[in-house]
Structure 1
């Protein structure tokens, strides 16, 4: 009898967990030292404000401060007018929730609910209470912002994604070249799905890395993954045309040799000019060759020319990226 034993997830303390724990302890300590009422709420606010990126943390923090101030003022007005009872709380939320959504500060809804419930429990409002709650907000949000100043560098992971994507591109191109030379080579094509997943993950990580730079704007990796994503679309368009070829010709051998060389040159470096020149030379050589004599030869030649066209698009995509990078470098140097 085979027993399936599930493995427990590995116990792990991530940097975000560490920041949350330290931030909660620090904020509750500060609020307690200042003798604030409901000082434990400062830790709750800090926990809610710990974010994945610096930019998101900054934007959400301002939203939470504004939402809490509005909640304090509105709850004071509603409670003093209708009394401190469940009915007035329902009326308050009925008015408050659409207001924060309209102002696009709904990220502060949960935090502000913690604050307005303090007033409900106290059944009173005064400026002393207002400043107590305001200090809780500022301590909770301030400590969270302090914790979010540290974000681990993703450079190593980004480089790993880039390397793995380039290896996959190299394999796929080499397989296409092999098919053009030998016909069916029993390739299972697993690299296609793997590359698609790597591109999505790499692009997502690059976007997160960009959002961790508040003053410094560096989107090199994001542009790179975006470029590879577009090139991958070209490869996917190429594959049905390559697989439709069943007869070996001089032109197909030339294209196969060209793709094979291209597969060995997949890297962050710019070899586009060289390969574009080689492509034009191959096109010129094709024009000097004898015209197709049969319908089958004509269709084969047409398919091969389309493959050459797509290979040019593949190279132009990278050439465009390098031109944009050069322009950006020149503008920064001025």
Structure 2
């Protein structure tokens, strides 16, 4: 059985919250532990957002509860009225994650049969201690940047390998199934890497840099285009003369593809090849025309593949 870091942090935060709340002789001190348990998340930013939302949610809940209980009495049916007002309003204000925790704290007023200043302060202290302990344990996060950079290297090597294989097997119909499988596997790998990159960015409070996340998003877009290219390759059976220039383009890209390559050199070659395509005479027989059309469609998809990377560099 594997115990994750979040589980360990939760196991540390909850009892500490309980000990602190008990040391202040707060009513229902165990609630602080429950709040800490529910507030620890996978990243620093998400924990901070959750903590702030819980405090805002408690303020809203306390205001509504005060109006209901003071006017209508501390009765279970009045608590139901409070929920009828609090839940829709919380959802409207994007505070849904605080509904359960705040409502549990509100039941303390119901049980006590009063909303005294001391009891209200008690509930706020329980909330502050709970979310404070969650924030404290989440200050430590392992640095995953090296792993993300390793993921980038895997993606670069895999893409170069696939483009090289596409160049070598451009007119061999029986070779494309393996490439499709590799494309799907790489897409799943990038999806996981992108999640890791997002968590890395979420663990930096004062950085708006989302380079790694955007990098993997760019590669996912490229793989979507690559998947469309493979569908065409699976049907293409053009003459060796017609595919030669595109093969050379694929091979050049396989050799030069890199994270810091903005694609400008490849786009220059694409523009030159596009001009040559435009100058070619249209084939006379239907089969050659259809093959040429598929080849041109493949060329356009490849151009889109490179333009995605170029656009990523322009927007950095």
Asked whether the two chains share a fold, i.e. TM above 0.5, the reply is yes
Structure 2 residue aligned with 1:206: 197
Q: Secondary structure at the match of 1:108?
A: helix
Q: Is the 8 A contact 1:180 1:248 kept in 2?
A: no
Compared with structure 1, are the counterparts of its residues 43 and 300 closer, same or farther at alpha carbon in structure 2 (3 Å cutoff)?
A: same
State the shift of 1:158 in Å: 2.2
* CA–CA separation in structure 1 for the residues paired with 2:74 and 2:278: 88
Compared with structure 1, are the counterparts of its residues 74 and 179 closer, same or farther at alpha carbon in structure 2 (3 Å cutoff)?
A: same
Structure 2 residue aligned with 1:75: 65
State the shift of 1:319 in Å: 1.3
Compared with structure 1, are the counterparts of its residues 140 and 287 closer, same or farther at alpha carbon in structure 2 (3 Å cutoff)?
A: closer
**Of 298, 310, 324, which aligns to 2:315?**
324
4+ residue segments displaced more than 6 Å: 287-291
* CA–CA separation in structure 1 for the residues paired with 2:213 and 2:172: 37
* CA–CA separation in structure 2 for the residues paired with 1:184 and 1:12: 43
**Of 286, 289, 299, which aligns to 2:290?**
299
State the shift of 1:95 in Å: 2.4
**Of 1, 11, 14, which aligns to 1:24?**
14
Q: Is the 8 A contact 2:262 2:313 kept in 1?
A: no
Residue segments in structure 2 that go unaligned for 5+ positions in a row: none
* 1:54 and 2:24 matched: no
Compared with structure 1, are the counterparts of its residues 63 and 299 closer, same or farther at alpha carbon in structure 2 (3 Å cutoff)?
A: same
* CA–CA separation in structure 1 for the residues paired with 2:218 and 2:176: 29
The count of aligned residue pairs is 315
Q: Is the 8 A contact 1:178 1:185 kept in 2?
A: no
Compared with structure 1, are the counterparts of its residues 96 and 247 closer, same or farther at alpha carbon in structure 2 (3 Å cutoff)?
A: closer
* 1:12 and 2:2 matched: yes
Structure 2 residue aligned with 1:253: 244
**Of 233, 241, 245, which aligns to 2:224?**
233
* 1:164-243 correspondence to structure 2 within 5 Å: 164-185=154-175, 187-188=177-178, 189-243=180-234
**Of 114, 119, 122, which aligns to 1:124?**
114
Moved more, 285-294 or 164-173: 285-294
**Of 268, 271, 289, which aligns to 1:277?**
268
* CA–CA separation in structure 2 for the residues paired with 1:290 and 1:134: 79
* CA–CA separation in structure 1 for the residues paired with 2:163 and 2:37: 48
Q: Is the 8 A contact 1:272 1:319 kept in 2?
A: yes
* CA–CA separation in structure 2 for the residues paired with 1:86 and 1:110: 16
State the shift of 1:307 in Å: 2.5
